[in-house]
Structure 1
Amino acid sequence: MKTMALQLFTVRDETARDFAGTLRRVSELGYTAVEFAGYGGLSIPQMQALLAETGIQALSSHLALETLEQCFEQEAEYALAIGCPYIVVPWLPPDQRTTEAFTALAETLNRLGSKAKARGLTLGYHNHDFEFAPMSDENPTLVLDSLFEHTDPASVTFELDTYWAAFAGVDPVDYLQRHSGRVTLVHLKDMTPERTFTEVGAGTLPIAEIIAAARASGAQGYIVENDQPRIPALESAGRSLHFLRTLPE
């Protein structure tokens, strides 16, 4: 298996109280990498020291589209300094989810992706469920399919959130197979029969098959996430990693 990371959004309450202490706990659980959802106010030297201390790799970082538009060079400098190869747009606010906005988004991703590539970074886009709706009543193409079609594979990659794909009624295994080569990062999540979040391996999604499809399609990193843990968040993260370690390589 490629790099196994934890999306720190899972433990957001803990990082808000003690960012460095939480990252140490994440390392103790056995995670070798993280995906950032903010840097806890740490300076570049502070983050460099913390990553070196814990042995944690900075795999990727979720950065709002507006932040990348307004502060690209600053964010690129931070990512490069901490050895973080991927910067990922995590979502679009509801007021930007229009046909026109989605069309413009592809152009924006291409532009930012080109800038990222020039700096030695890779830009990605992370989905929720709304990207699996048609572009419009007149255009039945799914929003995410349109983004795949109209973005440059040399500059823009995708981070498939398997929970939100399944929530939208899309088979994540089939989707990975159909978009082989374009999905570099995969969010490993699980779903209860009631369609709520749970630990990886405790729900209904075919995790082993998803990983196999991701591996075959060229994914480079797997990221555990639980948007709304019902048990202590660090315990949730630990249970997910424990399950993943039971799967055959």
Structure 2
Amino acid sequence: MKRFFRQCGKLMAAFTCVAIAIAMLAIPEMVSAKGNKKVGIQLYSVMDAVRENPKASIERLAGMGYKAFELVQWGGDTKVFGLPAEEFKALCDQNGVKIISTHSSIQEDTAKEDEIMQRWRQLFEIQKACGGKYFVIPSYNVDYTVKDVQQMCNYFNRVGKIAKEYGLKLGYHNHANEYKKLKDSDKVMWEYLVENTDPRYVCFEMDVYWCTKGGKDPVAYLKKYPKRIEMLHIKDEFVIGESGTINFEAIFNQFYKNGMKNYVVEIETPKALREKTNADGSKYTKEQIMNEMFVAAQKSAAYLTNAKFVK
């Protein structure tokens, strides 16, 4: 009889393991939710879905293993995806997600200096309520001359000094164009920005994909400016790690060596997905596109969670 019960116990244990394995395959988003890595994501990646249903989107991303968010406040929006800052933060807190940064920008207008700075203060107040540490300018219109880029640097220094009053660090996010030389100098525009902004008030969020597309080596810049690049945008052609064109291992290793740790995944909707059609010839709906973006986000989270070089 004892042997019978022992055999039954072994069979039940085996059945339980198989059942768990099947469940994990049936719900792939839960696979990457394990571990203590603080994988982050820029919510721009699934912005339409977050706007439509913040609660469901946050829960879905958290279920994939994302533990940090970078927000988007286009045009200086005073709400966070339609919600008051405190309410959005509460949703994140409930799902174990920390807000570390936001993206927004206000173009300089020397004729409206006081008004512009007041608008910045309003945005900084919102980000402070979210609990973030960084406030990143995602892009900025400027002529690539020494004079104009220096004016841009001066503006960033002034704005960054105000950000510091709110316990925030102003950052700048690059695209590929910043790695061109200035029109009237041999200096690369992005390098000029780094070397002519005040490190007390301004840092840089390097988008490693756009840096590579701009013909530069992210690792070389991480070595050259180890204390200025405080955040990374981890981006690929689509799903992180699938193209094989970005040396993420070397990038992460140098970033950690520099003493930095904050990074977020950003996934841009590819043209092929925006133009994708169903079998009947109808264009993909916004919901269908967003679902594929969530799948890409899940695969990206799994890649980073399983990568030994990511802490």
Normalized against structure 1, the TM-score is what? 0.90
Q: Where is the strand percentage greater, Structure 1 or Structure 2? A: 1
Structure 2 equivalent of residue 89 of structure 1: 137
My pick for the range that moved more, 78-87 or 11-20, is 11-20
Which residue, out of 122, 145, 152, partners 2:198?
152
Q: What is the alpha-carbon distance in structure 2 between the residues aligned to residue 209 and residue 9 of structure 1? A: 26
Is residue 183–residue 218 contact of structure 1 (8 Å, CA) maintained in 2?
no
Q: What is the alpha-carbon distance in structure 1 between the residues aligned to residue 139 and residue 238 of structure 2? A: 21
Aligned: 1:114 with 2:155: no
Post-superposition offset of 1:70: 5.1
Q: Where is the helix percentage greater, Structure 1 or Structure 2? A: 2
Give the AA of the match of 1:71. R
Is residue 89–residue 99 contact of structure 2 (8 Å, CA) maintained in 1?
no
Aligned: 1:242 with 2:311: no
Q: What is the alpha-carbon distance in structure 1 between the residues aligned to residue 168 and residue 296 of structure 2? A: 31
Structure 2 equivalent of residue 171 of structure 1: 217
SS in 1 for 2:107: helix
SS in 2 for 1:227: coil
* Residue segments in structure 1 that go unaligned for 5+ positions in a row: 191-196
Structure 2 equivalent of residue 213 of structure 1: 254
Structure 2 equivalent of residue 103 of structure 1: 150
Q: What is the alpha-carbon distance in structure 1 between the residues aligned to residue 46 and residue 250 of structure 2? A: 26
Structure 1 equivalent of residue 238 of structure 2: 198
Count of aligned pairs between the two proteins: 240
Post-superposition offset of 1:20: 2.3
Structure 1 equivalent of residue 52 of structure 2: 17
Give the AA of the match of 1:241. A
For each residue in 1:70-104, what CA deviation from the matched residue of structure 2 results, as whole angstroms up to 9, or x when unmatched?
Answer: 511211111111111110000124xx343243221
SS in 1 for 2:135: strand
Structure 2 equivalent of residue 34 of structure 1: 69
SS in 1 for 2:83: coil
Q: What is the alpha-carbon distance in structure 1 between the residues aligned to residue 41 and residue 69 of structure 2? A: 5
Q: What is the alpha-carbon distance in structure 2 between the residues aligned to residue 118 and residue 3 of structure 1? A: 27
* Residue segments in structure 2 that go unaligned for 5+ positions in a row: 1-35, 74-79, 109-115, 274-288
Larger Rg: 2
Q: What is the alpha-carbon distance in structure 1 between the residues aligned to residue 185 and residue 101 of structure 2? A: 33
Aligned sequence identity (%): 30
Q: What is the alpha-carbon distance in structure 1 between the residues aligned to residue 232 and residue 197 of structure 2? A: 18
SS in 2 for 1:163: helix
For each residue in 1:159-197, what CA deviation from the matched residue of structure 2 results, as whole angstroms up to 9, or x when unmatched?
Answer: 00000000011011111111111100001112xxxxxx2
